[in-house]
Amino acid sequence: IWGDVYTRKSTIALSVPGRKFVFDFEMGVHRAEVQYPGIENEKWNIKPDLNSLTHFKGDRVLGKKENWHELTAKYIEVIQRDDIDVIIFDTAKVLWATCHGSVLQEKQDAQVDAVLAKAPNAVLDVVEANIDWRKQLTEIEYTLPNERMENLIN
């Protein structure tokens, strides 16, 4: 469901009949749940990204890859459950950012690996302090995170 802020998207999602599992990334589903008293929805929150508090464009991306792996492991667990009828991602924007950020982190990890392959005795902290980190994915590199998203939601 797409819409502007506070247009009741979560409320609409929760109106779908059946037992729900909510990936509550922005921890705001409780606002919509008041519309459905007596209905208990199972929720899961991603770990807060504390690195983003001091992150600037061009910094090392940390935690996105780990969050993506944790999220997908939980998703695989949930889709195998017989007691869940509906899975809700609230919001898909956070899901998308985590997926794409994890791929950028993988690209940055590859930068470290390339330096260490050339200088195996280098000190990791020194290597990381002197890398001009990838700031974004190239257009063609969006294929991988887009495929991951497609596989997740289809």
The full DSSP string for the chain is ---STTSSHHHHHHTSSS-EEEEETTS-HHHHHTTSTT---EEE-PPP-GGGGS--TTSPP-SHHHHHHHHHHHHHHHHT-TT--EEEEE-HHHHHHHHHHHHHHHHHHHHHHHHHHH-TTS-HHHHHHT-----S--GGGGHHHHHHHHHHH-
Contacts 24+ apart (CB under 8 A), 22-27: 22/87, 22/88, 22/90, 23/71, 23/74, 23/75, 23/87, 23/88, 23/89, 23/90, 23/95, 24/90, 25/89, 25/90, 25/91, 25/94, 25/95, 25/98, 26/90, 26/91, 26/94
Band of pLDDT at residue 151, cut at 50, 70 and 90? very high
pLDDT value at 69 more than 90: yes
pLDDT at 117: 92
User: Which tokens go with 79?
Assistant: 């889709």
Residue 51 has pLDDT above 80, yes or no: no
Given a cut of 90, whether residue 46 has pLDDT beyond it is no
The whole-number average pLDDT for the span 27-32 is 84
pLDDT score, position 31: 85
